Structure 1
């Protein structure tokens, strides 16, 4: 039976296994924050290479890294198709990001493009050096002097899709790395320890930690259960791979319904097991394992908070900087003496 690596602890002895579990949870949260603060593809790719390298070095597994790309790539294809019918030249013009590299597919000829109540001219929207004077004259002749609302493909939308793929990939790989290198009991205790301040608000943090821990542990269980059901149904003649859309929907109902039933059965079995072992969430619990921060843990945390500070500064610099790709003109914003190289601005992520 195929085993899911996500959410499953994989024994090992690399350096990441020796990091304090609380620090690993904090680092995972910081990594997700960093990937969304990153304002340049240089930063996105650095984070992606970093987490990929750590994952391969720690778990000695390459196949999960490749499989992790499946979900972001599927989502990117869907988003690309959606962008064709949702992202128009108004969005591109407002972002001021490679405006002249907008390739329309169809035009809403009944509505002019207006920004702050002012109609935009074709000569203002497209640069003749990029699209060519003949193309610009064609637009003016076909639609008049004012820009019409158009839908199509742009560097703007491609930028967003690629950024989202990288972000999803890093998020999934980071979460997988956390669960692969941390025992469930230690993960539960570390989450409870990090939520300790909420106890002063009379919030049962140990219950929240237990819920999160069980939810993470149930992911590989349900994935493996789905593989088992697929094999069982396939042996009964159900075809999950071939057929039209209607037949595939009917086939997948034979997977979803048993999976739901199995999920409730496993949840009930777990509840009964915990109850027979005397588990009471409202009783005061003693601690067998006591976490102690090491110097190496503090150094790693300091390093990541330093990276977070740099990413925030980069975000502010890029946010208030301007770049004209056609003319090659830069207007780099500075925070005191802090500035960036121009290629950070060229490869900025469109928000």
Structure 2
């Protein structure tokens, strides 16, 4: 079975049976933790949890690699960008090392003595390799490390968001969003309308991707080349895709609006709930696991762990990035 982006995949897994509100909160939590954490090992722990939950949801490891396209592109772009920013003259300032006249402010590495810190920095500050003579461009381990960490963070966020869309039915997603934003009713904001808009937008993503694929195949059969040629030729070719896609999107939106109006949908009318969302024992178990994960992340970020009893691998990877 082929899995599409942002499309619900019916399966009988513990992730599918979780409360939709809990999954939305976990998705937001993971997105925040991925970009708040500053330790390398913490990022890998969060990524490990995300990959395990993703496999439980899809039962296929192959789909994990299919989502790596965007992070790899971001990694390459950031390595090139860091090549113009980081060089030998400013690498100390970037890392927070101030070198003055016989005065040096050492970098504080948790759990490492002076010799181990020197060994760590000697690997971290490898001399950049200059590729061009006339352009100030260099590639060093610092740029590669930071670009890789950024790609991992974005990849983890994509994984957590994909888990939400794969395992949650659209109507449950709408109900969950409406329940989570109910405090806005105090400000007389129509939360059910906002929830419906978000649900329709999420539902339209796989539809538009499918229509874009069909339009590309149709235009390719008419002789339009989307892959070869100069940059200007590719831009002109993309107009044959973008314009029909916009027209089709507005047409689909109008059809949906007419269908909802024919069925008597009134966004401002009061409505009752056919299904009530409630937590079960599994939801409480997952809530406890994620609370424990938050506590572990906080302890690692504040360096309040018994580091003297940990292996060297932990110490070398538990450094700020």
Instruction: State the TM-score, normalized to the length of structure 1.
Output: 0.75
1:66 aligns with 2:52: no
Q: 1:124 Cα shift? A: 6.4
Question: Is contact 2:15-2:56 (8 Å) kept?
Answer: no
> Per chain length, whose mean CA-contact separation is higher, i.e. which structure has more relative contact order (CA < 8 Å, sep 6+)?
2
Shift of the 289–130 alpha-carbon distance from structure 1 to 2, 3 Å rule, reads closer
Q: 1:94 Cα shift? A: 2.8
Q: 1:53 Cα shift? A: 2.5
Question: Is contact 1:95-1:350 (8 Å) kept?
Answer: no
Aligned to 1:81: 80
Q: 1:189 Cα shift? A: 0.1
Aligned to 1:183: 169
SS of match in other structure, 2:16:
helix
Question: Is contact 2:42-2:300 (8 Å) kept?
Answer: no
Aligned to 1:346: 316
Question: Is contact 1:40-1:344 (8 Å) kept?
Answer: no
SS of match in other structure, 2:277:
coil
Aligned to 2:286: 300
Gap runs ≥5 in structure 2: 106-117, 128-135
Alpha-carbon distance between aligned partners in 1 of 2:89 and 2:156, rounded to the nearest angstrom: 31
Counterpart pick for 1:196 among 163, 179, 182: 182
CA RMSD of aligned residues (A): 2.8
Aligned to 1:103: none
Shift of the 245–203 alpha-carbon distance from structure 1 to 2, 3 Å rule, reads same
Alpha-carbon distance between aligned partners in 2 of 1:191 and 1:89, rounded to the nearest angstrom: 49
Where do 1:185-224 residues align within 5 Å? 185-224=171-210
Question: Is contact 2:57-2:166 (8 Å) kept?
Answer: no
Alpha-carbon distance between aligned partners in 2 of 1:83 and 1:130, rounded to the nearest angstrom: 19
Alignment: residue pair count: 293
Alpha-carbon distance between aligned partners in 2 of 1:195 and 1:254, rounded to the nearest angstrom: 40
Aligned to 1:316: 302
Counterpart pick for 1:242 among 228, 248, 251: 228
Aligned to 1:252: 238
Where do 1:1-351 residues align within 5 Å? 5-89=4-88, 92-96=91-95, 152-317=138-303, 335=304, 338-340=305-307, 341=310, 343-348=313-318
Q: 1:64 Cα shift? A: 2.7
Deviations 1:84-103 (A, max 9, x none): 22334565323437x7xxxx
Shift of the 218–4 alpha-carbon distance from structure 1 to 2, 3 Å rule, reads farther
Deviations 1:69-124 (A, max 9, x none): 00111111112112222334565323437x7xxxxxxxxxxxxxxx7xxx857996
Shift of the 168–42 alpha-carbon distance from structure 1 to 2, 3 Å rule, reads same
Deviates more, 1:252-261 or 1:152-161: 152-161
Question: Is contact 2:226-2:234 (8 Å) kept?
Answer: yes
SS of match in other structure, 2:245:
helix
Shift of the 251–47 alpha-carbon distance from structure 1 to 2, 3 Å rule, reads same
Alpha-carbon distance between aligned partners in 1 of 2:7 and 2:50, rounded to the nearest angstrom: 18
Question: Is contact 1:240-1:252 (8 Å) kept?
Answer: yes
- Determine which structure has the larger strand proportion and give its number: 1
Deviates more, 1:190-199 or 1:228-237: 190-199
Gap runs ≥5 in structure 1: 100-114, 136-149, 318-334
Alpha-carbon distance between aligned partners in 1 of 2:32 and 2:230, rounded to the nearest angstrom: 41
Aligned to 1:332: none
Alpha-carbon distance between aligned partners in 2 of 1:247 and 1:349, rounded to the nearest angstrom: 47
Instruction: State the TM-score, normalized to the length of structure 2.
Output: 0.82
Question: Is contact 2:10-2:167 (8 Å) kept?
Answer: yes
Question: Is contact 1:5-1:64 (8 Å) kept?
Answer: no
SS of match in other structure, 2:15:
helix
Alpha-carbon distance between aligned partners in 2 of 1:44 and 1:25, rounded to the nearest angstrom: 20
Deviates more, 1:28-37 or 1:81-90: 81-90
Alpha-carbon distance between aligned partners in 2 of 1:91 and 1:278, rounded to the nearest angstrom: 65
